[in-house]
Structure 1
Amino acid sequence: MKNKLLIIGASGHGKVVADIALKMNKWKDIAFVDDDESIKSSMGIDVIGNSDDVFNHLDEYEIFVGIGNNVTRQKVHEMLETVGASIPVLIHPNAVVGEQVEIGFGTVVMAGVVINCCTSIGRGCIINTGSTVDHDNKIEDFVHISPGVHLAGTVNVGIGSWLGIGSVVSNNVTISNGCKIGAGAVVVRDTNESGIFVGIPAKKID
Structure 2
Amino acid sequence: MNLYLLGAANPEAVRMIRAVQRANPIVEFAFLDNDPAKHGTLFHGVPVIGGVERVADLKGPDTRFVNLITRDTRTRYETTRQIIEAGGTLCNFLHPGIDLTMTRMGVGNYLQEGVILQAEVSLGDNSSISYGSLVGHEGRIGHSVFMAPGVAIAGCVEVGDGAFIGTNATILPRLRIGRWATVGAGAVVTRDVPDYAVVVGNPARIIKAQAVPYADGRVFN
TM-score between the two structures when normalised by the length of structure 1: 0.91
Residue 184 and residue 51 in structure 1: after superposition, are their counterparts in 2 closer, same or farther (change >3 A)? same
2:88 pairs with 1:90? no
Unaligned runs of 5+ in 1: none
Contact 2:55–2:86, Cα closer than 8 Å, also in 1: no
Q: Give the secondary-structure state (helix, strand or coil) at the position aligned to 1:30.
A: strand
- Alpha-carbon shift at residue 4 of structure 1 (Å): 0.9
Write the deviation string for residues 74-103 of structure 1: whole angstroms up to 9, x where unpaired. 11223333444221112212223331x111
2:125 pairs with 1:129? no
TM-score between the two structures when normalised by the length of structure 2: 0.85
Contact 1:96–1:112, Cα closer than 8 Å, also in 2: no
Q: How many residues align?
A: 201
2:17 pairs with 1:21? yes
Look up the match of 2:211.
none
Look up the match of 1:44.
45
Q: Give the secondary-structure state (helix, strand or coil) at the position aligned to 1:63.
A: strand
- Alpha-carbon shift at residue 154 of structure 1 (Å): 0.4
- Alpha-carbon shift at residue 70 of structure 1 (Å): 1.3
Contact 1:89–1:108, Cα closer than 8 Å, also in 2: yes
Look up the match of 2:191.
189
CA distance, structure 1, for counterparts of residue 183 and residue 45 of structure 2: 35
Unaligned runs of 5+ in 2: 209-221
Contact 1:7–1:18, Cα closer than 8 Å, also in 2: no
- Alpha-carbon shift at residue 196 of structure 1 (Å): 1.1
Look up the match of 1:11.
9
Contact 1:161–1:179, Cα closer than 8 Å, also in 2: yes
Contact 1:96–1:115, Cα closer than 8 Å, also in 2: yes
Residue 65 and residue 139 in structure 1: after superposition, are their counterparts in 2 closer, same or farther (change >3 A)? same
Residue 103 and residue 21 in structure 1: after superposition, are their counterparts in 2 closer, same or farther (change >3 A)? farther
Contact 2:152–2:170, Cα closer than 8 Å, also in 1: yes
Between the aligned residues of both structures, percent identity stands at 27
Name the Cα RMSD after superposition: 1.5
